[in-house]
Amino acid sequence: MKKTTIVLHSGDSDKLMSALIIGNGALAMGGEASIYFTFWGLNRLKKGMLAKGPLSKMNLVGLGAWAMRMRMKQKNVASPERLLNDFKVLGGRILACEMTMEIMGIKKEDLREDLVDEWGAVGMYINDSQDAGLTLFI
């Protein structure tokens, strides 16, 4: 199984979910996976922010963020919080972008430190991707 490395740049809930669903899929099939949280993506690692955040293009199906959450609950689709916990349990690694923390004035204690495996800048991500076969920017 190829290693999967994902840059999560977006803070949209649907993209956060896509990143985690792909990561969890790769892990469940026996591969390695890591997600580099940067820009608006890192914002979702703030305490209390996993459950929040807008859905991009939600108007396409005529459902708002709240209605979509209800729908997913009803259909037994895991929440971002649950997906991220599964990701960690399955052995996925979370990388946090320190440059984003600098720009946005985010401190370590503002973030879900319990989930983060590595702190660093873009070099950390580039290194991590050297043995990856599946590379995505989300």
Give the interface with a second copy as residue ranges (CB under 8 A). 1-2, 4, 6-7, 9-12, 14-15, 18, 21-22, 24-26, 28-29, 31, 38-40, 43, 53-54, 56-57, 60-61, 68, 71-72, 75, 77, 99, 102-105, 121-123, 125-127, 129-130, 132-138
For residues 90 and 73, what is the distance between their CA atoms, to the nearest angstrom? 22
Considering beta carbons, is residue 25 or 91 the nearer one to a second copy? 25
Rounded to the nearest whole angstrom, what is the least distance from the CB of residue 113 to a second copy in the complex? 20
DSSP for residue 105? T
Q: Which contiguous run of DSSP H or E holds residue 22? A: helix 13-28
Considering beta carbons, is residue 65 or 134 the nearer one to a second copy? 134
For residues 31 and 60, what is the distance between their CA atoms, to the nearest angstrom? 34
Rounded to the nearest whole angstrom, what is the least distance from the CB of residue 39 to a second copy in the complex? 6
Rounded to the nearest whole angstrom, what is the least distance from the CB of residue 12 to a second copy in the complex? 7
**For residue 124, what are the contacts with CB-CB under 8 A and spacing of at least 6?**
36, 95, 118
For residues 80 and 21, what is the distance between their CA atoms, to the nearest angstrom? 9
